[in-house]
A and B are shown apart, each in its own frame.
Chain A
Amino acid sequence: MEVVLRVRRFNPETDQKAYWAEYTLNDIRRTDRVLDLLHHVKWYIDGTLTLRRSCAHGICGSDAMRINGVNRLACKALVKDYVKGERGKIEVAPILGLPVIKDLIVDMEPFFDHYREVMPYFINDSPPPEKERLQSQEERAIFDEGTKCILCAACTTSCPSFWANGTYVGPAAIVQAHRFIFDSRDTGGQERLAILSENNGVWRCRTIYNCTSACPRDIPVTQLIADVKMAATGVKVVPEPSPRFTAEKVGTEAEDAPR
């Protein structure tokens, strides 16, 4: 099949402003990833096309971009998601709200700055036991969703509140904070909630749900933000356990399987 790939391009060394470039690609498979199309352009048509990517199967979080106007990982977006017939068009642009450096590459530093602001690390200053700190399965289940985050920035850069005000820490940072606030072993929750109660914290969220739609890991981002909002008001919150832990138990055999 034939796909016209439109790519928002900008080279800081040669261009005054960004522009759309069009590449007509033939012999495309319906199951090709958008990443494959971008590689095709880069490898065979124009080597100057520039993007970040690494694992190419949705785990490393390098290749978040706007595909037909919606934030996706280019390695998890397939041609068939966008083109139904024998020919069609796919539009790729950099994620919004972060400065574009070159083509599809944006400056990730503001994103990681916000990440670092929320103390995204385990805090417990009491001396650890000789073995593991104990944690019940129920305690473990309530912060599972946030641990899936790959820091791809798809959520934060889909958020109109973040577009409007880049000082807002954004959904990804709140998800990271959630992961520790609700970890029974962690003692830094109040400090994080204080940070997130400030001007640029959790109250900038207007519950628009773009983040949840954008997440390539199916994290219920808006729900996690709601948990943090509740906790920030002093309400005792027990987040919903991950569906992974609530699925019907069907025997223990599989737990034993080699992986």
Chain B
Amino acid sequence: MQTHQFDAVIVGAGGAGLMAALYASRGVKTAVISKLYPTRSHTGAAQGGIGAALGNEEEDNPEWHAYDTVKGGDYLVDQDAAEILAREAIDAVYELEHFGLPFDRTPEGKIAQRRFGGHTAEHGKRPIRRACHAADRTGHMILQTLYQQCIKNKVEFFDEYHAVDLIMNDGKPAGIVAINIATGELHVFHAKAIMFGTGGWGKVWSITSNAYTLTGDGNSICFRRGIPMEDMEFYQFHPTGIYRLGILITEGVRGEGGVLINGKGERFMTKYAPTIKDLASRDVVSRAIYTEIQEGNGVGGEDYVYLDITPKTVNKFLEEAGESRRIDRDYIESKLPDILDFCRTYLGVDPVEEPMPVQPTAHYAMGGIPTNIHAEVVIDEKNTVMRGLYAAGECACVSVHGANRLGTNSLVDLVVFGRRAGQNIVEYCKQADFTPLPANPTSEVEVEIERLRNANGNTRVADLRIAMQKTMTDYVGIFRTGDGMQKAVDEVRALKEKYRTDLKIDDRGKVFNHDMLEAWELGSLLDLAEVTAVAALERTESRGGHARGDYEKRDDANWLKHSLAHLQADGNITLTYKPVTITKYEPKERVY
């Protein structure tokens, strides 16, 4: 075991972690721990843009952005946080540009902006160009730029160190335990301030746009050490993932005129959203696809539908709609190059010639580690701060996304609140002392790691993971019922029991033991699956991404509140609730 001491330790090197690291390292001795090389982080997969009311293309106002965010989140958003998000987005985007981020440009040489789902002018009156972008690889550019700046500022990285425990002493955070993946050795990082920026956990579900490594480790570590998880029942399913693979196909395809077609050849969205049809919000479209598949209207009876951008189909509907615009091959090639590449590479399907098979894909966690607007972790319904502990980005819940995240706001979230975390960490470290390390800070986690490394049961990690993913997809997916969610809770608990007693691991080595680490990651996923199912079962309403067949309406009288799931000493999960912060937008029905 090796012990290091830093003022601040940041776990995770995606957008939130790197932004925080840049700021923290200016003031205090900072280390970044990441299980991946930083440039592998999933921030890099974000495509479309980062929303900020710069007004480069047309008049805009951060207050409009805040309103759109609140409405998009089905009024579960904390409105003070949404106002900060929208206001600070502007400065954060300029700062990224000053860091060298190569945004696309307007003819005047300013940052180019485009329209995006749910972003409007004057409180819903018309779409607005707010998404600042660099081609369709904006996330890649943010990740690269922040990493470059970290190199310039000599931030200290511990790459391929997998964090496995949050060290607490006398109820206070004291550090992190991490495995050096290359050697298998445990390292203790003693720190005054600890920040989590560990991303999401899409791998809880079968079909996801998320990377293999998005397993919610940071959330699980915190949960096991008594930190509650907020709003875990709210998880976003994006309507159009590539069939079987889950790779995202941008909303832009439908923005260009693409339509969803079922196995009977029907453009079914006309039934579900007669006015805006295929461009309804993500939760609405995902539910429609799910319903079609359940009713046997998937293509060939299978669990997918078609997304059709072929000029023949698109032009037919444009003509029917009385629109003069027409598209052709060149147009699609120039506007959707990455989507064409994905489909040609992975499906052997040329979207210019034939429709793409798609199905909804698990995409983004609205819930997570509860924080306040300073990125400080809060631990109860009174928002009591856990001093020295911070979180930002997808793993955190401020909450700026409420019950359904608006497109582009994930990138805004991680730069705005990652920066706030970094700034506040410096202030905190200047006046705080180290919490002493407890005796044997690695002993508990070491027992679990050794158990996994020597596991000699009969159940393979992959089989257990697939069983969990199937259960969660069937019962805690796009469309939920009380009976189904109860089944999921029971089944996930049974799988956890198997995980504890019957796991089979082949690799007994120390060096790059990914076999053991995949098992560790499965442990995190199982924790978060259980919390998600428990929190979802309890919420007897439908709101944003949480849609129930047995409670179809939003119920503000009883449920305009955040859930907090707590792990009890006996392993049970209990739920408490805290009010939503409302500043100026009274909840009303969400109509687009």
Which A residues lie at the B interface, using CB under 8 A?
A: 11-14, 30-31, 33, 42-44, 46-48, 50-51, 53-62, 76, 78, 80, 101-102, 105, 108, 112, 116, 119-124, 128, 130-137, 140, 143-144, 147-151, 179-180, 183, 185-186, 244, 247-248, 250-251, 253-259
Give Cα A57 to B344, complex, Å: 12
Query: In the complex, how many angstroms separate the beta carbon of A180 from the nearest chain B beta carbon?
Result: 7
Give the most central of A14, A46, A149, A247: most B CB within 10 Å.
A247
- Which residue of chain A lies nearest to B37 when distances are taken between CB atoms in the complex? A108
Could you tell me the distance between the alpha carbons of A51 and B514 in the complex, rounded to whole angstroms? 8
Residues in A whose Cβ lies below 8 Å from that of B45: 55, 57, 59-60
Residue of B nearest to A80 (CB): B348
- B100→A122 contact, CB < 8 A: yes
With a CB–CB cut-off of 8 A, which chain B residues contact A134? Answer: 108-110
* Chain A residues positioned under 8 Å from B333 (CB to CB): 247
A78 to B509, CA, bound (A): 31
Please determine whether A57 and B245 come into contact, CB atoms closer than 8 angstroms: yes
* Extra inter-chain contacts (17) besides given A248-B330, A258-B254, CB under 8 Å: A11-B511, A44-B462, A46-B506, A54-B213, A55-B45, A56-B211, A78-B346, A122-B148, A122-B152, A132-B98, A150-B44, A183-B102, A185-B100, A247-B333, A250-B330, A251-B325, A254-B252
Contact in complex: A257, B256 (CB < 8 Å): yes
Report yes or no: A247 in contact with B334, Cβ–Cβ below 8 A. yes
Question: How far in angstroms is the closest Cβ of chain A from B77?
Answer: 20
Interface contact B102-A143, CB-CB below 8 Å: yes
| Cα-based distance from A54 to B140 in the complex (angstroms) | 14
Minimum C-beta distance from B254 to chain A (A): 8
Q: Name the contact of B335 in the complex, choosing from A57, A105, A254 (C-beta under 8 A).
A: A254
Contacts of B137 in A (CB 8 A): 147-148
Query: A48-B507, A78-B345, A256-B114 given as contacts; is B105 within 8 A of A120 (CB)?
Result: no
Partner of A254, one of B107, B331, B510: B331
Q: List 23 A-B contacts (CB under 8 A).
A: A47-B515, A53-B212, A56-B245, A61-B39, A76-B345, A112-B37, A116-B151, A121-B148, A122-B149, A128-B98, A130-B94, A134-B108, A137-B107, A147-B141, A180-B100, A251-B325, A253-B256, A254-B331, A256-B115, A257-B251, A257-B335, A259-B114, A259-B255
Q: Judging by beta carbons under 8 Å apart, are A43 and B116 in contact? A: no
Of B126-134, B161-169, B434-442, B487-495, which binds chain A?
A: B126-134
Instruction: Select B511's contact among A102, A119, A256, beta carbons within 8 Å.
Output: A102
Per the 8 Å Cβ criterion, residues 237-282 of B in contact with A are 245, 247, 250-252, 254-256, 279
Which residues of A sit under 8 angstroms from B115, Cβ to Cβ?
255-258
Q: Which residues of A contact B335 (CB under 8 A)?
A: 250, 254, 257
User: Could you tell me which residues of chain B, from 205 to 240, have a CB within 8 Å of some CB in chain A?
Assistant: 211-213
State whether the Cβ of B144 lies closer than 8 Å to any Cβ in chain A: yes
Give the chain B neighbours of A13 by CB distance below 8 A.
509-511
Q: Is the CB of B102 within 8 A of A140?
A: yes
Which residues of A sit under 8 angstroms from B514, Cβ to Cβ? Answer: 42, 50-51
How does the 8 Å CB contact mask read for B89-122 relative to A, with 1 for contact and 0 for none? 0000010011110111111111100111110000
Centre residue among A133, A148, A183, A255 by max chain B CB count within 10 A: A255
Contact A150 B39 (CB under 8 A): yes
Residues of B close to A251: CB separation below 8 A: 325, 331
Q: How far is the CB of A253 from chain B (nearest CB, A)?
A: 6
Q: Which residues of A contact B136 (CB under 8 A)?
A: 259
A170 to chain B, nearest CB (A): 16
Interface 1/0 per residue, B372-401 and A, CB below 8 Å: 000000000000000000000000000000
Contact of A120 among B148, B511, B512, B513 (CB under 8 A): B148
Please list the 3 inter-chain residue pairs (A to B) with the smallest Cβ-Cβ separation, ordered nearest first.
A122-B100, A257-B255, A259-B48
- B129 close to A258 (CB less than 8 A): no
- When the two chains form their complex, are residues B407 and A259 in contact, meaning their CB atoms are under 8 A apart? yes
Which residue of chain A is the closest to B93 with respect to CB atoms?
A132
Q: How far is the CB of B8 from chain A (nearest CB, A)?
A: 22
- A59, A250, A253 — which one has the most chain B CB atoms within 10 A of its CB? A59
Asked whether A62 lies within 8 Å of B348 as measured between CB atoms, the reply is: no
Complex Cα gap A121–B18 (Å): 14
A144 engages B102 (CB within 8 Å): yes
From the candidates A80, A149, A258, name the one contacting B117 in the complex (CB within 8 A): A258
The minimal Cβ–Cβ distance linking A99 to chain B, given in whole angstroms, is: 12
Q: Does B524 belong to the interface (CB within 8 Å)?
A: no
Question: B42 interface residue, CB < 8 Å from A?
Answer: yes
Q: Which residues of B contact A257 (CB under 8 A)?
A: 114-115, 251-252, 254-256, 335
The one of B42, B47, B148 in contact with A259, judged by C-beta atoms closer than 8 angstroms, is B47
Supposing A61-B40, A78-B346, A122-B145 touch, asked if A258 and B331 sit within 8 A by C-beta, the answer is no
Across the interface, which residues of B come within 8 angstroms of A14, CB to CB? 509
Q: Is the CB of B212 within 8 A of A105?
A: no
Q: Is the CB of B251 within 8 A of A259?
A: yes
Q: Which residues of B contact A140 (CB under 8 A)?
A: 102, 104-105
Contact of B100 among A12, A183, A248 (CB under 8 A): A183
Contacts of B134 in A (CB 8 A): 147
> Are the CB atoms of A101 and B182 closer together than 8 Å?
yes
Q: Give B124 Cβ to nearest chain A Cβ, in Å.
A: 15
Cα of A135 to Cα of B510 in the assembled complex, Å:
50
Whether B347 sits at the interface, judged by CB under 8 Å, is yes
Q: For the complex, what is the distance from the CA of A60 to the CA of B131, rounded to whole Å? A: 23
Most central of A101, A121, A150, A185 by chain B CB within 10 Å = A121
Asked if B322 CB lies within 8 Å of chain A CBs, one says: no
B575 within 8 A of A: no
Q: Chain B CB within 10 Å — which of A54, A116, A259 has the most?
A: A259
Chain B hits for A108, CB < 8 A: 37
Docked Cα-Cα span, A121 to B98, in Å, equals: 11
Report how far A43 CA is from B466 CA in the complex, Å. Answer: 11
Contact B97 A133 (CB under 8 A): yes
Determine if A44 and B42 form an interchain contact, defined as CB atoms under 8 angstroms apart. Answer: no
Please determine whether B97 and A54 come into contact, CB atoms closer than 8 angstroms: no
Q: Hey, what's the 0/1 contact readout for B563-585 against A, CB within 8 Å counting as 1? A: 00000000000000000000000
In the complex formed, the residue of B with least CB distance to A244 is: B135
Chain B residue at minimal CB-CB distance from A30: B348
Interface centre among B103, B108, B109, B134 (most CB of A within 10 A): B109
Closest to B98 in A: A128
Quick check: is B293 within 8 A (CB to CB) of the other chain? no
Check if B49 is an interface residue, CB within 8 A of chain A. Answer: yes
Q: Which of A78, A140, A247, A258 has the most CB of B within 10 A?
A: A258
Minimal beta-carbon separation of B433 from chain A (angstroms):
34
Contact partners of B279 in chain A: CB under 8 A: 258
> A47-B505, A108-B37 given as contacts; is B511 within 8 A of A12 (CB)?
yes
* Distance of A62 Cα from B98 Cα, bound (Å): 28
Measured between alpha carbons, how far is A120 from B147 in the docked complex, in Å? 10
Verify B149–A121 contact, CB threshold 8 A. yes
- Write out the residue numbers on chain A whose beta carbons fall within 8 Å of the beta carbon of B97: 132-133
Q: Which of B42, B111, B127, B515 contacts A256 (CB 8 A)?
A: B127
Contact B144 A147 (CB under 8 A): yes
The answer to whether B114 and A255 touch across the interface, beta carbons within 8 angstroms, is yes
Question: Within 8 Å CB of B117, what residues of A?
Answer: 258-259
Contacts of B144 in A (CB 8 A): 147, 149
Give the residue of A57, A116, A132, A247 whose beta carbon is less than 8 angstroms from that of B247.
A57
Mark out the residues of chain B between 439 and 489 whose CB falls within 8 Å of any chain A CB in the assembled complex. 460-462
Bound CA–CA A30/B506 (angstroms): 29
B152 touches A259 (CB 8 A): no
